[in-house]
Amino acid sequence: MTVIHTLGLPRMGAGRELKWALEDYWQGRRGADELLAVARELRARHWAMQAQAGCALVTVGDFSLYDHVLDMSARLGVVPERFGWSGGEVDLDTYFRMARGRAPSGTPAFACEMTKWFDTNYHYLVPELAPGQRFELARHDLFAQVDEAHALGYAVKVAMVGPLTWLWLAKAQGDFDRLDLLDASLPVYGRILERLAGQGVAWVQLDEPILALDLPAAWRAAFEPAYHVLRNSGARILLASYFGALGDNLMNAARLPVAGLHVDAIGAPEELPQVADWLPAGRVLSVGCVDGRNVWRADLDAALDRLAPIHARLGERLWLAPSCSLLHVPLDVTLEDGLDPEIKPWLAFTRQKLDELAVLARGLTQGRDAVADELAQCRAALAARRASPRVTDPAVRARLAAIRPEDAVRAAPYARRALVQRQRLGLPPFPTTTIGSFPQTADIRAARRAFKVGHIDRAEYEATMRAEIRHAVDIQERLGLDVLVHGEAERNDMVEHFGEQMQGYAFTAHGWVQSYGSRCVKPPILYGDVARPAPMTVAWITYAQSLTQKPMKGMLTGPITLLKWSFVRDDQPWRDTALQIALALRDEIRDLEAAGIGVIQVDEPAFREAMPLRARQRTGYLAWAVQAFRLATGGVADATQIHTHMCYSEFNDIIAAIAELDADVITIETARSNMELLEVFAGFDYPNEIGPGVYDIHSPNVPAVDAMVRLLQKAAARIPAERLWVNPDCGLKTRAWTETEAALANMVEAARRLRATIGA
Ligand code: GLN
Ligand code: ZN
């Protein structure tokens, strides 16, 4: 029988049990024992799900209390000095302090930097390497989890981040090449593998997704000797590559001294025969043949066609799996009672993907007749999706075809617009603003729930949200901020809120996907042509503007983010979907402008994340991504100030494209990486205005005035003072009001000091 397995499962649980347990623990409402019991129960449930679906091996080690990269760092004893760790076991609270800056015990410190996991919306904690970094096996929870699974009677495959990928994702704190630390880290990897082999673990999956990247030659060459060392551990290693083609890494990867290789046949189906050709005799080939990144039901006929010749050659050495960890998709589509019954059969979440693998495995080993019913069902669902009038809207298509190049160009260049805007807005130097959201309090969430289940009506719900907006405006007035925001109380999520008001999007009730730590998002499903039947934000923003003389920022989510943070349709190019969304936003922006709103922000936090991993595909992406943003924003008058916001990414390599967006102002994350972003401005003259985030909103710590003044002075050395804004590095919805007010009071004070010193 063909082996099926997963590279990893979602961690949160059907009811997001892990989220609640974590947050209770952090707030002191539950003890460590209670948190760990929830974690154990979730693992057991997820193993049972795999076993029930027919997985011959259950995966251990994909579960994490916060992040699997942080798990690996802790396991390797790579704990930055500021956390006061002095060897021995990295305990739970040290682990959480690395993730969040604080924990129930221990002294608060700067959290580790967080950034996106390849081109996904999952965030990992960046390992920090000190010069002469030492490694020691310092966290042992993985071995206990293996015992748990064995005790439940499962055959185990352990998954963890491989040594080259872990090192690639790390940052050297100092002037040295992090690859030089590979040799020092391998003995600890070796000890982990030996110990797992000693526990009777059948396989160890080492994730090396960097094999889907353009690797420098030294990194590519480092794989072979490293895996030779690891081979001596006695563990059977499955090397897992995903997130796209192996490309120029293919030959190297196929010939590594490991027992098996996993490849992504969804991202790179064309490569599969070549991989099979290159694979030495006796090796297992795990083929990622259902999409681990998206929610569409697989085309099982096509998959069988592709797999059959490989199966004929490899027999039992062919394994089947999702293309990557299922971390990136929701758990179970059968939970979705409210989902449109026409759309539901087009979808497959984690549980359904495991079932798809089981069907494919049976089809391969017992022949297609053995799975004729399943194949017929699949064909019918795919045909219904293709033919559905809900997917294709001729009016949207016609409008897209009629776009002219000048639609994406502002009438005057930035320098001229800036003068008009300065006159209209009357802002001081170093204007202060925030990124959009204010605390989503328990009251706000309770009101939303009450409205959803019908305990309060729309009028009452909207009145409650207006009261929240008034509260947010009052506080901003009191704090002395210059450009105000309405606070986004009425938004459950920056994508869902818009998707719900646009044609072409469907929504789940339980389709949560982890974003970072305990934070989950519920991405909408973009299944059809997009249009905006009616204004989406105008009533809220004009209400907020009516409460103040100061400029109120209109707040929208941009086309790339609305696309990337959704499950995107796979039946047309991303570009077409992005431009459809851009046209809808263009109408919204025009309506806001007509309603007297003078500042409009179009958030694009996913702009960098949507960029292809391989360099040769990037120019094409950036061209249509810039076009989409400019199509959305290009129709406004000179006096209307367009802002954009981006966060938690490496921006240095795309700064020219960011400049091409031609937003009047960009607010951008820098605080957590200590303004490293600013180094790019030494080599690139960013032409418009910019607000480098002066404090990290992901930490509850209140930033000191001095620290922010210093950051801003550093910025002023690179960017002319008259083009600098002062703002936090992201939205404040995850924070509490007390810390938010304290932080913003300090931020406003920092701006005042700066006006006094630099102005003088
Ligand atoms: N306007 C959004 C907010 O403030 C932006 C969020 C984001 O960048 N992810 O929450
Ligand atoms: Zn942000």
Structure-block tokens of residue 287: 């083929």
Q: pLDDT confidence of 339, banded at 50, 70, 90?
A: very high
Respond yes or no: is residue 123 known to be catalytic: no
Q: Is the pLDDT of residue 391 over 60?
A: yes
Q: Is the pLDDT of residue 469 over 60?
A: yes
Cα–Cα distances in angstroms (integers) from residue 720 to residues 281, 418, 526, 569, in the given order: 62, 14, 42, 43
Looking at 647-734, which runs of residues are DSSP E strands?
665-668, 689-692
Q: Per-residue pLDDT tens for 119-156? A: 998 999 999 999 999 999 999 999 999 999 999 999 99
Q: Per-residue pLDDT tens for 483-496? A: 999 999 999 889 99
Q: Per-residue pLDDT tens for 22-61? A: 999 999 999 999 999 999 999 999 999 999 999 999 999 9
Q: Cα 163–166–170 angle (5° rounding)? A: 135
The residue type found at 444 is I
The protein residue whose alpha carbon is closest to atom 3 in ligand 1 is 731
Q: pLDDT confidence of 648, banded at 50, 70, 90?
A: low
Q: Per-residue pLDDT tens for 202-221? A: 999 999 999 999 999 999 99
Per-residue model confidence (pLDDT) at position 671: 55
Cα–Cα distances in angstroms (integers) from residue 269 to residues 120, 265, 383, 698, in the given order: 20, 4, 22, 39
Q: Per-residue pLDDT tens for 537-566? A: 999 999 999 999 999 999 999 999 999 999
The CA distance from 445 to 143, in Å, is: 39
Q: pLDDT confidence of 672, banded at 50, 70, 90?
A: low
Candidate from 377-386, 554-563, 683-692 with smallest mean pLDDT: 683-692
Q: Within its chain, how far is the Cα of 280 from the centroid?
A: 36
Across the chain, mean pLDDT equals: 96
The CA distance from 440 to 442, in Å, is: 7
Q: Per-residue pLDDT tens for 68-86? A: 999 999 999 999 999 999 9
Per-position DSSP letters for 394-438, written without gaps between them: HHHHHHHHT--GGGGS-SS-HHHHHHHHHHHH-PPSS-BB--SB-
Per-residue model confidence (pLDDT) at position 700: 85
Q: pLDDT confidence of 462, banded at 50, 70, 90?
A: very high
The protein residue whose alpha carbon is closest to atom 9 in ligand 1 is 605
CB 58 within 8 A of CB 154: yes
β-partners of residue 505 are 526
Q: Per-residue pLDDT tens for 227-281? A: 999 999 999 999 999 999 999 999 999 999 999 999 999 999 999 999 999 999 9
Mean pLDDT of 154-173: 98
pTM of the model: 0.89
- Closest ligand 1 atom to 437 CA: 4
* Residue 701 CA, ligand 1 centroid: distance in Å: 19
Ligand 1: does its nearest atom lie under 6 Å from the Cβ of 605?
yes
Ligand 1: does its nearest atom lie under 6 Å from the Cβ of 435?
yes
Q: pLDDT confidence of 675, banded at 50, 70, 90?
A: low
CB-CB neighbours of 163 under 10 Å? 25
Q: Within its chain, how far is the Cα of 103 from the centroid?
A: 24
Per-residue model confidence (pLDDT) at position 68: 98
* Residue 579 CA, ligand 2 centroid: distance in Å: 22
Question: Which ligand is closest in space to the CA of residue 519?
Answer: 1
Measure the N-to-C terminal CA separation of the chain; round to a whole number of Å.
78
Per-position DSSP letters for 266-298, written without gaps between them: TT-GGGHHHHHHHSPTT-EEEEEEE-SS--BPP
Per-residue model confidence (pLDDT) at position 758: 77
Q: Is the pLDDT of residue 670 over 70?
A: yes
Q: Is the pLDDT of residue 89 over 80?
A: yes
Per-residue model confidence (pLDDT) at position 596: 98
Ligand 1: does its nearest atom lie under 6 Å from the Cβ of 730?
yes
Mean pLDDT of 410-434: 97
The CA distance from 695 to 726, in Å, is: 10
Tell how strand 171-172 and strand 553-557 pair up.
unpaired
